[in-house]
Structure 1
């Protein structure tokens, strides 16, 4: 099975990996079929864990390779492409945050962000919030596999697979973060699940865009890697960490973040 995956076209590998991350989002959303509520401490721990995975992935799988590629790319400083891409990633997500109408889980409707339409649905706003977070995650998976396909010595297929596994694991609480609030609001289990898993559909799309950009325009590779890293760090600091601590479980969320970071670091270094 492993050998079969290794022989596949990079685009197909990327699609399979991103479908896995989408499937993990659906798995998290599927918890509505077993319960109506989830312990708040458990949710905060899962969100903290997700934040740790994303921070570790941003450096070990994206920024570090971007810096190494930049060092051998041109006469410009090695840090320049990584710095530019990283900041552009944050600026992109910040702009999207101001434009795209969305509502963070557990927030009241009057705290909805972005440009608000006249008719607003809580379900749609919740899905858009998590969808916005999934864009950089899908992009990260795509550019990681694209770097391997381009023959970069700083990238490895095992490292790209480790990144996909890490993104998939941290997608579990994201699926729950949409489906569970909707279930508490009175939506049926089926609708809550469908809305929850729908938020992960953007990942295969973003991943395919990422792998195509990197393989077709190889010089942008360090920019693309660091762009995905910057976008993910913005998501972690703007939403994931604050969301994991707003109910008072700060120590639990912080330790869970460290555990997530450690596991993702081990995965990336051991497999990469």
Structure 2
């Protein structure tokens, strides 16, 4: 159980590292278009490489068909489209991004908790090593994700609100990992759904918000964010 708690603490700390880094940026030199577009680039890469592709791979391995993928993506899209309607219109961008990032953290935390708990039950050193490599990779990817979630709040509402929202988004991940202990018997069945929901939420957020940032600064920032996250996925 040592590695289980170490893994969950690690991914939380790494996300909070990104949150804290965002707090050190000066508000007067930050451009909202640049920040949001960078965050959207990070989200699209994360949605594709960390959520959508792993969900497809799991479904192929389990040979269960692709209906969980379609259902999950549809649920993720529905959440992002419907929930922000309850917010003030001018604050939709930040809250939609925050919601998508938080939803995406749930299956990632669940994956870490499930893999480490299975390693604990099996007592197999190779399975444990794979689980450790998984939480290290997810943890490193969490730095730009925490950064991207927090920075829009830093610009518009200051450090206190930015830190609070970053913390809420971050703590969801280890809590989801603990939930994996309860649902370990159905973890393999539920995981593709969770990954697909996160992917749907992130991809639809990018499609909705990017239309407001289709200028040179926005496009270049989007490309940089996408490239940073893609490289992390490729090399981890």
TM-score where L is the length of structure 1? 0.68
Unaligned runs of 5+ in 2: 120-126
Larger radius of gyration: 1
CA RMSD of aligned residues (A): 3.1
Please list, as runs of the form range in 1=range in 2, the aligned pairs for 1:68-83 lying within 5 A after superposition. 68-74=57-63, 76-77=64-65, 79-83=66-70
CA offsets per residue over residues 205-263 of structure 1, 9 Å max, x none?
Answer: 32134324445231211111111111222332233x245x1xx6x22322332232233
Do 1:144 and 1:225's aligned partners in 2 also have CA atoms closer than 8 Å?
no
Give the Cα–Cα distance (whole angstroms) in 1 for the partners of residues 226 and 96 of structure 2. Answer: 23
Return the alpha-carbon distance in structure 2 between the equivalents of residues 131 and 54 of structure 1.
11
Query: How many residues were matched structurally?
Result: 222
Task: Provide closer, same or farther for how the CA distance between residues 135 and 39 of structure 1 changes in structure 2, counting only shifts above 3 A.
Answer: closer
CA distance in structure 2 between the aligned counterparts of 1:260 and 1:141, rounded to whole angstroms: 20
Q: Among 67, 79, 85, which residue is 2:56 paired with?
A: 67
- Residue pairs, 1:71-220, within 5 angstroms: 71-74=60-63, 76-77=64-65, 79-99=66-86, 101-102=87-88, 111=90, 131-146=98-113, 148-149=115-116, 150=118, 157-182=132-157, 192-215=158-181, 216=183, 217-218=186-187, 219-220=189-190
Of residues 187, 201, 213, the one that matches 1:231 is 201
TM-score (norm. length: structure 2): 0.77
Partners of 2:5 and 2:207 in 1: CA distance: 31
Deviation at 1:21, TM superposition (A): 1.3
Query: Contact 1:60–1:265 at 8 Å: present in 2 too?
Result: yes
1:261 aligns with 2:209: no
What is the rounded CA distance, in whole Å, between the counterparts of 1:208 and 1:146 in structure 2? 8
Q: Mark the runs of 5 or more structure 1 residues left unpaired by the alignment.
A: 1-6, 104-110, 114-124, 183-191
